A and B are shown apart, each in its own frame.
Chain A
Amino acid sequence: MVEKLTFTHPLSKYLRVDRLPHIWCEGCGNGIVLNCFIRALDELGANLDELVVVSGIGCIGRIAGYVNVDSFHTTHGRAIAIATGIKLANPRLKVVVISGDGDLFAIGGNHFIHAARRNVNLTVICVNNFNYGMTGGQLGPTTPLDSITTTSPYGNVESPFNLAHLAASSGAVYVARWTAFHIHELTKSIKASLKRRGFTFIEVISPCPELYGRYNKMGRGVDMMNWLKRVSEVRHGCDPAKAEVSSSKIVVGEFVSVDKPTYDQLIYQLMERVKGGSSVEGGG
């Protein structure tokens, strides 16, 4: 047990230092996402008092407890719905959802597609590690075909989601995919999505050497990172439908970048239009 360490990281103002070191396993990509996220905040000079990080349940869900901003570690699958309420009630706040593939796309899939459809002004970062880590490595909605997990012990027969395609076809205004190896590109994408208005989505393919990697004989974290490095192919502007994720190729890059009015813009415009009126004066 490591306790009471003095932490003198130059970016410590972005972290709840007294919560560190974090709970994630050796080689887990979650820490890299945290690292890139706080660097993006730093490089943008983000106002930390107007930023809210919302997470769901799962390993990456604990990220909300590590960033030194207003943060909400919600129920399983509901991060986006809760973030929607936060954003609409106070549009001044920048609201970022950081969660996992199982949380956002299995139990929380409905909220994801509808928030994207409405173009709720949220940044959503999905750390996709191909399985449920917190519960010990079960099959998830992104687990590749034939993969071994504790609930697909004979190999996965379910087709995985292409998250970037799902996001784009649901209406996201910005869609990017990187891996935990692409630290510079990921940081750049996080910055880009934080600066944009609308439903922005970044998928980060991330190593889980402790569970997914172990069950599928992918070696240590460094081996998984080398695999991500080897098979990744940067194709900006690629049609998300064709942006494959397989053991031999992972298409990464910024796939979608369009402008659309956001839900909070529209709803507050509507409010301005009808404000002060009364549709019920003098009757029911």
Chain B
Amino acid sequence: MLTGTHFLQGNAACAEGAIAAGCRFFAGYPITPSTEIAERMARRLPEVGGVFIQMEDEIGAIAAVIGASWAGVKAMTATSGPGFSLMQENIGLAAMTETPCVIVDVMRAGPSTGQPTKPSQQDVMQAKWGSHGDYEVIALSPASAQEMFDFTIECFNLAEEYRVPTILLADGFIAHAWERVVIPPPEEIKVVERKGPEAPPGDRLDLVPPMACFGRGYRVHVTGLTHDERGYPQADSVEVQRRLVKRLCDKIRANADRIVKTKAFALDDAEVVVIAYGAPSRPALKAVKMARENGLKAGLLRLITLWPFPEKDVIRLSSHVKAFIVLEMNYGQLVREVERAAKGTAVTLLSKLGEELHTPYEILRALKEVC
């Protein structure tokens, strides 16, 4: 196991985080700017007794990951926009079959093939709504190579704890940034292990039921069809559909307070709050510090969890702040969630499309305009 302080690329840190979290299966398909994760996993997994496979496409990659997870092994795939689009149907399958797995999406500029080497945050809504039907996922947004390591572990832990596909929504800046990464010794890393069943399934399930993996004698049936607590298809039952979909959503919604993480800076007396996630949260911090030096009552709410959306933080702030400034490397996605939660408080979007990251000065200028 790799420990100590290293100079690592964000993507490499992600791979090391996966290994530290106990991931022993990776299936992927090359795509810029996520490929280094697959390359690192191809090199590293066999060393720790894990399986790496390069599949024929991203559909196969997520499918193999779901299969591996049901065979009892922590599994991950990594991709970027076009591949993430291809994975959507099976992300829905993972949600429906409550398959713990981690999907890393290193966002690049779209739509379609777009600008493969240009970082973006254009898959934020797709991460939540990309597959058909009602379901919930968890998505985290790292803003440094260190967080590529830390949050990958967190993604595995959340995936296991809630039996849900969990998405690390990175962007090209962070994934390709080389930075200092501290990897603690294994005993200092919190790793959540999968809970197996101890008894036959009953009529009612806990919000998060234990998982009977293949080969353990449970003779479990797994299906993407609407299914009852025994796992049997119930394609016509209104009652079963309602019960299942509600539970799939409620296990995340009801636990949102435990799942959601944000970071606050200078929020206590802030009149204008910058909301940022991923790479833009770095210039945002600098800009808020500069604003404070200029006597402006600015603050920063950095979103770590994107899904479920940290709406309580925004609602709380909206009762007393004058305005929100939302930074996104897209043409306005998460800003809609902010507007929804801001309940009338002014919301301004600072959008970046295929360009350089927001500069602190741009953000400062925007802060001055609304303060």
In the complex, A touching B (Cβ < 8 A): yes
Residue A279 at the chain B interface, CB threshold 8 Å: yes
Given contacts A65-B223, A71-B221, A284-B6, whether A89 and B67 have CB atoms under 8 Å apart is: yes
The residue on A at minimum CB distance from B13 is: A284
Residue B152 at the chain A interface, CB threshold 8 Å: no
Residue A92 at the chain B interface, CB threshold 8 Å: yes
Residue A75 at the chain B interface, CB threshold 8 Å: yes
Residue A69 at the chain B interface, CB threshold 8 Å: yes
In the complex the two chains form, what is the Cα distance from A21 to B56 in whole Å? 38
In the complex the two chains form, what is the Cα distance from A114 to B65 in whole Å? 16
In the complex the two chains form, what is the Cα distance from A49 to B216 in whole Å? 7
Interface residues of B in 54-78 (CB under 8 A from A): 55-57, 59-60, 63-73, 75
In the complex the two chains form, what is the Cα distance from A222 to B341 in whole Å? 65
**How many Å from the CB of B9 to the closest CB on chain A?**
7
The residue on B at minimum CB distance from A90 is: B71
Q: Is B71 in contact with A93, judged by CB distance below 8 angstroms?
A: yes
Residue A10 at the chain B interface, CB threshold 8 Å: no
Q: Is B44 in contact with A73, judged by CB distance below 8 angstroms?
A: no
Q: Provide the residues of chain A in CB contact with B265, threshold 8 Å.
A: none
In the complex the two chains form, what is the Cα distance from A75 to B225 in whole Å? 9
The residue on B at minimum CB distance from A50 is: B215
In the complex the two chains form, what is the Cα distance from A284 to B7 in whole Å? 6
Interface residues of A in 81-101 (CB under 8 A from B): 81-90, 92-93
**How many Å from the CB of A111 to the closest CB on chain B?**
5
Kindly identify which residue among A71, A78, A86, A277 contacts B59, using a CB–CB cutoff of 8 Å: A78
Residue B90 at the chain A interface, CB threshold 8 Å: yes
Residue B233 at the chain A interface, CB threshold 8 Å: yes
In the complex the two chains form, what is the Cα distance from A279 to B222 in whole Å? 38
Q: Is A81 in contact with B73, judged by CB distance below 8 angstroms?
A: no
Given contacts A85-B63, A92-B215, whether A280 and B43 have CB atoms under 8 Å apart is: yes
**How many Å from the CB of A51 to the closest CB on chain B?**
9
Q: Give the A interface residue count (CB, 8 A).
A: 50
Convert B68-96 into 0s and 1s, putting 1 for each residue whose CB lies closer than 8 angstroms to a CB of A. Answer: 11111101000000000000011001000
**How many Å from the CB of B27 to the closest CB on chain A?**
6
Q: Is A73 in contact with B51, judged by CB distance below 8 angstroms?
A: no
Residue A172 at the chain B interface, CB threshold 8 Å: no
**How many Å from the CB of A4 to the closest CB on chain B?**
15
Instruction: Jot down 30 A-B pairs with beta carbons below 8 A, ordered by A.
Output: A18-B232, A49-B217, A52-B215, A64-B221, A70-B215, A71-B219, A71-B220, A72-B221, A75-B93, A75-B224, A81-B59, A84-B63, A85-B68, A85-B71, A86-B68, A90-B214, A90-B215, A110-B60, A111-B56, A114-B56, A271-B51, A273-B46, A274-B46, A275-B47, A275-B48, A278-B2, A280-B43, A281-B2, A283-B7, A284-B6
User: 16 new A-B pairs (CB below 8 Å) besides A72-B222, A111-B56?
Assistant: A18-B232, A50-B215, A70-B220, A78-B63, A78-B93, A84-B55, A84-B64, A86-B67, A88-B51, A90-B73, A93-B215, A114-B55, A277-B47, A279-B47, A284-B9, A284-B12
Interface residues of chain B, those whose CB is within 8 Å of chain A, are 2, 6-9, 12, 24-25, 27, 40, 43-44, 46-51, 53, 55-57, 59-60, 63-73, 75, 89-90, 93, 178, 214-225, 232-233
